[in-house]
């Protein structure tokens, strides 16, 4: 892997996702929020409804190391179901990295599910070591899941969710989509950064969503380029939302 901007030198996924100190950028009323997405060259977020066809081994390494840089990892219910989400911090090496950078060993999992439409056999809901906060608009709770699962009854009020996370001590969040959740976060002005891996494929068609779906934003969001790295034709970009 080569870093090509803002300088040219060898790098690695592990280096790109180390020492980012995102928590230091948090406003007083909410956590700092970055999106981490992968797309084809025509902007599609999935291939055959999964990210697997777009994510390479290098991208997966970056994916897991980026998780070490945030207090919490957020995901929409649809993405959690399709990708069969499990424990957010996968191994002891990643847990040690989190601790070494001043974070808890495990990232808090935040699942946004308006209707609480989550299968009970979802691995994430059955990991005893994994703290899970489900943001939902319904009053009932899931049954037959481990007792560490908590609920934020915030409906579709994402600013309220972010404020509640800040009150819980969460100062940085990494959101992994999906595209519909991304659109609501952008519309609410809650996105601070975008980590975007561009896979050298063109998918085409109208079925697969782009990385930001839903209604057109009232105003386009402008971003400034922070860095670009390349590995075997795949581009790993980081952007910061212009305030």
| Whether the predicted pLDDT of 152 surpasses 80 | yes
Lowest mean pLDDT segment, chosen from 51-65, 98-112, 225-239? 51-65
| Whether the predicted pLDDT of 60 surpasses 90 | yes
| Whether the predicted pLDDT of 61 surpasses 90 | yes
Tokens of 17: 């996702």
- Its pTM stands at 0.95
Strand 9-10 and strand 193-198: the pairing is unpaired
| Whether the predicted pLDDT of 57 surpasses 80 | yes
The CA distance from 241 to 221, in Å, is 7
Per-residue pLDDT tens for 162-207?
999 999 999 999 999 999 999 999 999 999 999 999 999 999 988 7
Burial class (CB in 10 A: 0-12, 13-18, 19+), 79: buried
**Which residues 6+ apart lie within 8 Å of 70 measured at CB?**
22, 34, 107, 172, 173, 174
| Whether the predicted pLDDT of 50 surpasses 90 | no
């Amino acid at each position: 892997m080569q870093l090509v901007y803002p300088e040219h030198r060898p790098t690695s996924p592990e280096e790109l996702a180390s020492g980012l100190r995102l928590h230091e950028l948090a406003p007083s009323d909410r956590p700092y929020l970055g999106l981490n997405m992968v797309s084809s060259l025509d902007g599609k977020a999935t291939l055959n409804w999964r990210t697997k066809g777009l994510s390479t081994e290098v991208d997966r390494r970056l994916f897991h190391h980026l998780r070490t840089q945030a207090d919490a990892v957020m995901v929409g219910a649809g993405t959690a179901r399709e990708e069969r989400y499990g424990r957010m911090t996968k191994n002891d090496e990643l847990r040690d990295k989190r601790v070494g950078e001043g974070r808890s060993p495990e990232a808090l999992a935040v699942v946004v599910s308006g209707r609480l439409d989550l299968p009970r056999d979802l691995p994430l809901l059955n990991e005893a070591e994994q703290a899970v906060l489900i943001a939902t608009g319904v009053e009932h709770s899931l049954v037959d899941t481990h007792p560490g699962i908590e609920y934020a009854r915030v409906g579709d009020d994402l600013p309220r969710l972010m404020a509640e996370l800040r009150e819980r001590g969460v100062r940085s969040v990494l959101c992994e989509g999906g595209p519909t959740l991304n659109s609501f976060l952008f519309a609410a002005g809650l996105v601070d950064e975008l980590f975007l891996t561009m896979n050298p494929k063109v998918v085409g068609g109208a079925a697969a969503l782009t990385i930001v779906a839903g209604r057109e934003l009232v105003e386009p969001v402008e971003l400034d380029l922070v860095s670009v790295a390349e590995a075997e034709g795949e581009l790993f970009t980081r952007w910061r939302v212009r305030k």
